[in-house]
């Protein structure tokens, strides 16, 4: 339900990253090192070996018990492997047929269902939510398109200190929506982008009202069955699925079984459970026009534009961004015990799917897709890490020190402007330390250039933490030479 990438902005801080509900931890060793268990490859031995090595490095560094990856080029299987264990206590190996929770990858199914209903003349994505759910929070202020693109401004129902306790118990739709009822919008609809599970929960209710079927019935009849997906279920079915992976996360540095989000809470925002093979059937069916018309497929993968910040890097149920300078369309997913990624690179006609049974952040699922892409296209990866000319060693040293303070949550204010210092010391610093600390110490701090925006000089870097783990980070420096703003992508 929780993506690895996205965008939100807080005053002097610009962040492109998903809202974080998980515990953050990063181990440098494993009790059981994940080794390849089963697989198939049409790659040369050297490339397959490098991918295996990098995948195992990511799994070991993140303490991930098991993973399954698959790569398709032009729709044909190029590489598939299972690593480690699906059940650590029983020492049961992961296999290509293992079921994993796919979290927010579910959102593209919800989006496709809404577009199907528009094609059938039963709704319009530009109509106000009130047309279909008049009693929903802010129903007269937001449109279905804004719900689909996370530009509605609706507050998040999974926020708050009690979010986990709420999420693991069965809930009614009324109880879910009561968590946001009465709260103001976070911003004017359409003006910004902020990831919102609330929007997709409401879309599930719209599907039910318009179709006359339950959400699960509609998805199975109109999406899963036409796509030939016979191995995709919901969280409610996990007890009868075998082989089903067990979800884990780190607590206090120790790997533990993670609690499960209840199906009624994840629901249309993230309740599907699938296999890599079935997810590829979905990819083929969607791209092939079997689910919605080609024009709507294109719309899903076209970034919306916000009035305040331009491109949202998100379409309708799909992220739209770049890796190594190459366009990427897809989605990540996460629950308390799983992180997954389903990524498409249109220039290469390449699809990479990665499932893991580790719910930590930074998310191993997306990291695996990154290392695989880098090994398949090493020249692109090398070019992306090439430093820009004109770096000032003293400025870079200062920025490294500033990043270390942010990462460690020990901001002393000497390097930062007064306004940003106040925000960091008021709680933002703790939040960023929780998000950035688990990445570990950077292995490289690559200068990518200087720009001038909003009266500040911005110095941009690519910060590398290991295979598949990088951040684009910028420091906005004011006239006094202090960091007045930061950005992260």
Catalytic center residues: 104
> What is each CA distance from 236 to 337, 404, 445, in whole angstroms?
15, 43, 44
Query: How far apart are the C-alpha atoms of 88 and 239, rounded to whole Å?
Result: 17
Bridge partners of residue 166, in order along the sequence: none
Backbone angles phi, psi at 210, to 5 degrees: -75, -40
What do you get for the CA distance between the two ends of the chain, in Å?
Answer: 19
Pairing of strands 13-15, 483-488: parallel
DSSP state of 24: B
Q: Which residue has the tokens 């279920």?
A: 233
Instruction: Give one DSSP letter per residue of 388-426, joined into a string.
Output: PS---HHHHHHHHHHHHHHHHT---SSSB-HHHHHHIII
> What is each CA distance from 57 to 86, 116, 117, 397, 457, in whole angstroms?
18, 42, 44, 28, 37
Phi-psi region of 236 (alpha: psi -120 to 50; beta: other; left: phi over 0): alpha
Among 424, 463, 417, 411, which Cα is nearest to 441's?
463
- Positive or negative CA dihedral for 191, 311, 472, 18? positive
> What is each CA distance from 293 to 42, 146, 212, 289, in whole angstroms?
32, 20, 22, 5
371, exposed or middle or buried, with CB in 10 Å at 0-12, 13-18, 19+? buried
Query: How far apart are the C-alpha atoms of 326 and 348, rounded to whole Å?
Result: 9
């Amino acid at each position: 339900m929780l993506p690895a990438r996205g965008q939100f902005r807080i005053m002097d801080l610009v962040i492109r990253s998903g809202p974080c509900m998980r515990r953050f931890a990063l181990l440098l060793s494993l009790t059981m090192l994940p080794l390849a268990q089963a697989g198939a490859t049409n790659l040369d031995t050297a490339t397959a070996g490098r991918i295996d090595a990098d995948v195992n490095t990511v799994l070991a560094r993140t303490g991930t018990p098991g993973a399954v990856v698959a790569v398709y080029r032009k729709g044909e299987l190029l590489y598939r492997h299972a690593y480690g264990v699906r059940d650590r206590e029983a020492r049961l190996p992961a296999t290509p047929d293992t079921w994993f929770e796919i979290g927010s990858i579910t959102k593209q199914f919800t989006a496709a269902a809404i577009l199907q209903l528009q094609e059938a003349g039963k709704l319009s994505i530009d109509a106000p939510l009130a047309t279909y759910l008049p009693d929903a929070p802010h129903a007269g202020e937001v449109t279905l398109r804004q719900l689909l693109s996370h530009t509605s401004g609706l507050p998040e129902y999974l926020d708050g200190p009690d979010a986990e306790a709420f999420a693991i118990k069965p809930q009614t739709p009324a109880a879910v929506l009561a968590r946001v009822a009465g709260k103001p919008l976070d911003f004017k609809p359409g003006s910004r982008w902020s990831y919102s599970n609330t929007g997709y929960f409401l879309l599930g209710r719209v599907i039910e009202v318009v179709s006359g079927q339950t959400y699960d019935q509609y998805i199975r009849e109109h999406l899963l069955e036409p796509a030939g997906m016979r191995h995709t279920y919901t969280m409610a079915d996990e007890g009868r699925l075998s082989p089903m992976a067990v979800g884990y996360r780190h607590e206090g540095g120790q790997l533990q079984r993670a609690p499960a989000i209840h199906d009624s809470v994840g629901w249309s925002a993230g309740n599907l459970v699938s296999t890599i093979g079935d997810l590829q059937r979905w990819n083929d069916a969607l791209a092939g026009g079997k689910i919605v018309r080609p024009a709507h497929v294109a719309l899903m993968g076209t970034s919306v534009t916000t009035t305040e910040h331009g491109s949202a890097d998100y379409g309708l149920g799909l992220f739209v961004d770049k890796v190594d300078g190459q366009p990427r369309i897809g989605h990540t997913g996460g629950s308390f015990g799983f992180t997954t990624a389903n990524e498409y690179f249109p220039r290469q006609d390449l699809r990479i799917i990665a499932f893991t049974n580790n719910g930590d952040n930074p998310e191993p699922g997306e990291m695996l897709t990154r290392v695989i892409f880098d090994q398949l296209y090493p020249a692109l990866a090398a070019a992306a890490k090439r430093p820009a000319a004109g770096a000032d060693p003293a400025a870079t040293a200062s920025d490294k020190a500033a990043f270390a303070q942010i990462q460690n949550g020990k901001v002393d204010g000497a390097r930062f402007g007064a306004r940003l210092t106040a925000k960091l010391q008021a709680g933002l610093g703790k939040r960023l330390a929780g998000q950035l600390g688990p990445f570990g110490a950077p292995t490289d701090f690559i200068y990518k250039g200087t720009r001038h925006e909003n009266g500040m000089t911005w110095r941009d870097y690519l910060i590398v933490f290991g295979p598949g783990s990088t951040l684009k980070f910028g420091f906005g420096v004011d006239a006094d030479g202090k960091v007045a703003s930061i950005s992260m992508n």
